[in-house]
Structure 1
């Protein structure tokens, strides 16, 4: 049996398995990605409940669409700062989700994770694919800077791909 290649991140970043104690962190992380809901003119308890429901829907959607996906916590110096979800098969590596806490954004962490994913995909001879919402212009700019190209688009999102250059 061939051992599956392991994705490693450059120090001080690291990946680790998600455990039961990470529930509160993952809830805070998801809430930090939903400014659209957090800024609603509604009772805070209602907004919190709505965000929790949306997190559950996202989680179930990922597990349904990508049942073999790898889910991991991204850490920096032993402190959790994000989550990475990837799905790999014989044809491609798919970045299902990369989410970072607001305080961890624009500090090079996302770029470092993406570059590590690119190297990992290249080492397997596979393209790296992802989808990005049209509303997430900052992420789309980052992906373009790192060499991702738009391969398809619809009303909600762009599908992008990166492929290592042939030797």
Structure 2
């Protein structure tokens, strides 16, 4: 169940910031799964480096965790937009987004290591903020691991911690009046 919700792209005609980085979005397709697994692994390398496992055990763990996460997202966010982030026709990330009446929920946003630290994530978030405002949403919500290096970016852009969820914080950004 990969394409569900993919036809309804979220308000990206308003793109301004991300377009400066030659970013475009397209719906996820079955051929993206290997890339998405590599992307997922890139977000877990820090944890994997602290384990005594060999490469086969690490990859088996990643395969299991990626599959569980993907299945969970598909089940619990049935109307989401499942987007691949591309730069110059190369896949560099993913953006999973569901638009609710109460808020726009970023289910997941991740970039490959070589695309991090260049302002791309911030540009995507600013476009999402602009889109939520234009769509009259009451804000944007996202769960972020407390140790995620991107936490400082979210806080800098005006996201606030609204709930402590243990390993995660629920962050929320609200448009200015």
Tell me, yes or no, whether TM beats 0.5. Answer: yes
Query: CA–CA distance in 1 between the matches of 2:118 and 2:9?
Result: 30
Shift of 1:5: 5.3
Query: CA–CA distance in 1 between the matches of 2:142 and 2:29?
Result: 25
Structure with bigger RCO (C-alpha 8 Å, 6+ apart): 2
Aligned to 1:131: 143
Aligned to 2:12: 7
Q: What's the RMSD between the two structures over aligned residues? A: 1.6
Hey, which bits of structure 1, 4+ residues long, moved more than 4 A? none
Query: CA–CA distance in 2 between the matches of 1:42 and 1:14?
Result: 37
Shift of 1:111: 0.4
Query: CA–CA distance in 1 between the matches of 2:11 and 2:160?
Result: 25
Task: Please tell me whether the aligned partners of residues 9 and 81 of structure 2 are also in contact (alpha carbons under 8 angstroms).
Answer: no
Q: Is 1:94 the counterpart of 2:99 in the alignment?
A: no
Task: Please tell me whether the aligned partners of residues 146 and 167 of structure 2 are also in contact (alpha carbons under 8 angstroms).
Answer: yes
Spell out the pairing of 1:53-72 with structure 2 (5 A cutoff). 53-72=64-83
Task: Please tell me whether the aligned partners of residues 85 and 97 of structure 1 are also in contact (alpha carbons under 8 angstroms).
Answer: yes
Deviations 1:102-132 (A, max 9, x none): 1111111100110010000000111111111
Shift of 1:4: 7.5
Select 2:41's aligned residue among 24, 28, 31.
Answer: 31
Q: Unaligned stretches of 5+ in structure 2?
A: 1-7
Shift of 1:154: 2.7
Assess, with a 3 A threshold, how the Cα gap between structure 1 residues 104 and 60 changes in structure 2: closer, same or farther: same
Please, what TM-score do these two structures have when normalized by structure 2?
0.86
Task: Please tell me whether the aligned partners of residues 81 and 97 of structure 2 are also in contact (alpha carbons under 8 angstroms).
Answer: yes
Query: CA–CA distance in 2 between the matches of 1:65 and 1:143?
Result: 24
Q: Unaligned stretches of 5+ in structure 1?
A: none
Aligned to 1:151: 162
Aligned length: 163
